[in-house]
Structure 1
Amino acid sequence: MTTGAKIAWDDTVLPFQLDRSDIRGRVARLDGVLESVLKQHDYPPVIEALVAEMALLTALIGQTVKLRWKLSLQVRGSGAARLIATDYYGPTEEGEPARIRAYASYDAETLEHSADPFSQIGQGYFAILIDQGEGMQPYQGITPIAGGSLSACAETYFAQSEQIPTRFALTYGRSQQPGENEHWRAGGVMLQHMPKASPLMEQGEPDSDGLLTAASLLDDDEGENWSRANMLLDTVEEIELIGPTVTPTELLLRLFHEEDARVYDTQAIRFGCTCSEERVRQSLSIYSAKDISTMTTDEGIVEADCQFCGAHYAFDPATLGFEAEATGDGN
């Protein structure tokens, strides 16, 4: 493969459909985007792995949101990894890239650096939030932490909250090509059974934990198609998922050549943060002058840092809060 072909597929999501099985899916490759997300913070490797998996899930899931919509994934846990949050911003116009950002909060004192990353979350919940824009009610769905990975949590979410059988095959880690510096790279495939025509899907039987699974949502014929597609996906190798020597279209041909795979236009992904001085001012506008004074440093300024991109903001306290106009500043 030429270098140009490799670059063309990096930081993209390729939607596809298996016509024989009523299954849709996506192939994602993250390279520079993931590196940009992780270099904003000096996370230990165990936290980097969780953020990498979450960012890849966000790219795969977020590809379905409409223009100008925002999709957020959140994991909150009782363990050392307290919070993993990602945002996916749909393109503002057709043909433009989508944007992703991510952030993690953790307890450095209790973090086990040699442990399985997922074990550092503990008990908690996995949530998906969709913001459709001004004037629209945001959607939120929550399921408990389940399974042995963040992708398993996402599969449980879709079965439990959306009643859509879903499967992820992901890989991520530090990669190095000849002549390149070591950097983060990720790749994955997402499969989903098409929703039934009826808006009211028949409720399946939960598993022993009281949670729905893909198998409990499908009838015999659908279940056979779903099992076949999953067995084909089971044959995928990590190097095929992460690339860069196998393009997504070559991967789909290798995995699903008998399933009549149909591909659609790719969606480019970029790292992007929406923080700004105006947004910080707006977030502080709910506070009184007394509240603002408690946030003021000994140097006489109010400081704020963006958790996602690390941008630093400094303000004159007289210009902040809902009493700012009373200062004569005019803001």
Structure 2
Amino acid sequence: MTLGSQIAWDDTVLPFQLDRSDIRGRVARLDGALEEVLSQHDYPPEIEALVAEMSLLTAMIGQTVKLRWKLSLQVRGDGPARLIATDYYAPTAEGEPGRIRAYASYDADRLERGAEPFTQIGKGYFAILIDQGQGTTPYQGITPIAGDSLASCAETYFAQSEQIPTRFALSYGRSSSPGVDETWRAGGVMLQVMPEASPFATGGGSGDGGLLEASDILDDDKEEDWTRANILLDTVDALELIGPSIQPTDLLVRLFHEEGPRVFDAQPVHFGCSCSADKVRESLSIYSAKDIGHMTTDEGIVTADCQFCGAHYEFEPETLGFEATKSP
């Protein structure tokens, strides 16, 4: 494999379809985008791993939605890892990249160093929010934390809230090549039964706590196709997922050649943040001059920092709030 082909597939999401099985999917590779997401903060390894997994899920799920603006994933728990939040912004024009950003909040004093990252979340919920922009009502779906990974939580969400059997195979970690500094890489495959092929299930499911599973949703023929595709995906190797030794198209042929894989145009994904001074001003517009006074520092300014990208903003207090006496 040449360096050129390696770079061509970095930071991309490749849509595909298995024509024989009526299953769609995505192959994702994150390289520079994930490195930028994680470089915004000095997270401990356990939190880095959670942010990496969540970012990969976000890139894959965001590309499956007919999205005009933003898809957000959020995990909240009662463990040391209190919050993992990610956003995927749809391309602003054809040929433009999608953009991802991520942020984590955690209690360093409670964090169990060396423990499995997922165990640091505890009990809580997994949520997906889809915001199509101005003039629309955001959609939000919530399911409890389930399984043994964030990927398991996402699978449970799609089975329970969308009633669409979904499977993720993910791999992520620090990678190094001769003569190149160590960087984060992540890759994965997402399988999903075509939405129109999923009948509506009623009542409780057979999963933990009565949650739905694929067998509760699919009829016998579709369940057989789904089981076969999952068995094939079970043969994937972690290094095949991350790359760069194998291209996504070659991986699909290796895994699913008998299922009739068909690929579509790949979508590039970059790190990107939507914060701005104007948006900070807008968020502070609901406060009175007295409230703004409480936010003012001894130096006579109001400051704000973006949790996602670390951007720092400074404002004159007189320009903020609904009682502002000075133009920006």
Per the shorter chain, which TM-score range?
over 0.9
Partners of 1:20 and 1:66 in 2: how far apart?
Answer: 24
- Residue 205 of structure 1: CA displacement? 4.8
Match of residue 131 from structure 1: 131
Q: Map of 1:15-164 to 2, 5 A cutoff?
A: 15-66=15-66, 68-164=68-164
Structure 1 contact 77–83 (Cα < 8 Å) conserved:
yes
3-state SS of paired residue (1:41): coil
**Could you tell me which amino acid in structure 2 is paired with residue 262 of structure 1?**
R
2:13 touches 2:269 (CA, 8 Å); kept in 1? yes
**Matched residues, percent identical?**
75
**Is contact 1:30–1:187 with CA below 8 Å preserved after alignment?**
yes
Could you list the runs of 4 or more consecutive aligned residues of structure 1 that deviate by over 4 angstroms after TM superposition? none
1:278-322: CA deviation from partner (whole Å, max 9, x where unpaired): 000000000000000011111111010000000000111111000
Q: Are residues 1:311 and 2:314 paired? A: no
- Partner of 2:279 in structure 1? 279
Q: Counterpart of 1:92 in 2: which secondary structure?
A: coil
Secondary structure of the residue that 1:73 maps to in structure 2? strand
Secondary structure at the counterpart of residue 246 of structure 2:
coil
**1:179 Cα offset (Å):** 1.1
For residue 63 of structure 1, give the secondary structure of its aligned residue in structure 2.
helix
Alignment deviations for residues 118-147 of structure 1 (CA, whole Å, 9 cap, x no partner): 000000000000001100110000000000
Where does residue 201 of structure 1 map in the other structure? 200
Deviations 1:175-229 (A, max 9, x none): 001111001000000000112368x724365124110011211111111100000
1:313-328 aligned within 5 A: 313-324=313-324, 327=325
The answer to whether the Cα contact below 8 Å between 1:67 and 1:93 also exists between their aligned partners in 2 is no
What secondary structure, in the 3-state scheme, does the structure 1 residue paired with 2:258 have?
coil
Question: Could you tell me whether the CA contact under 8 Å between 2:67 and 2:132 is conserved in 1?
Answer: no
User: Which residue number in structure 1 is paired with residue 180 of structure 2?
Assistant: 180
CA distance in 2, matches of 1:217, 1:13: 27
Return the letter of the residue paired with 2:53: E
Quick check: 1:330 aligned with 2:327?
yes
Aligned residues: 327
Q: Within 2, Cα distance between the matches of 1:68 and 1:271?
A: 18
- Aligned equivalents of 2:300 and 2:195: distance in 1? 57
1:155–1:166 contact (8 Å) kept in structure 2? yes
Q: Structure 2 CA distance, aligned partners of 1:4 and 1:221?
A: 42
Whether the 8 Å contact between 1:160 and 1:211 is mirrored in structure 2 is: yes
Q: TM-score when scaled to structure 1? A: 0.97
Q: Which amino acid aligns with 2:191?
A: L
Distance 2:253 2:203 in 1: 33
Deviations 1:94-116 (A, max 9, x none): 11100000000000110111110
**What is the DSSP-based 3-state SS (H/G/I as helix, E as strand, rest coil) of the residue aligned with 1:226?**
helix
Change (3 A) 1:193 1:67: closer
Give 1:242's aligned residue: 242
User: Paired residue for 1:169?
Assistant: 169
Secondary structure of the equivalent of 2:304? strand
- Residue 12 of structure 1 deviates from its aligned partner by 0.1
**Paired residue type of 1:160:** Q
Paired residues of 1:11 and 1:270 also in contact (CA < 8 A): yes
Unaligned residue ranges in structure 2 (runs of 5+): none
Normalised by the size of structure 2, how large is the TM-score? 0.98
Contact 2:49-2:173 within 8 A present in 1 as well: yes
- By how many angstroms is 1:64 displaced? 2.1
* CA–CA distance in structure 2, aligned partners of residues 52 and 144 of structure 1: 21
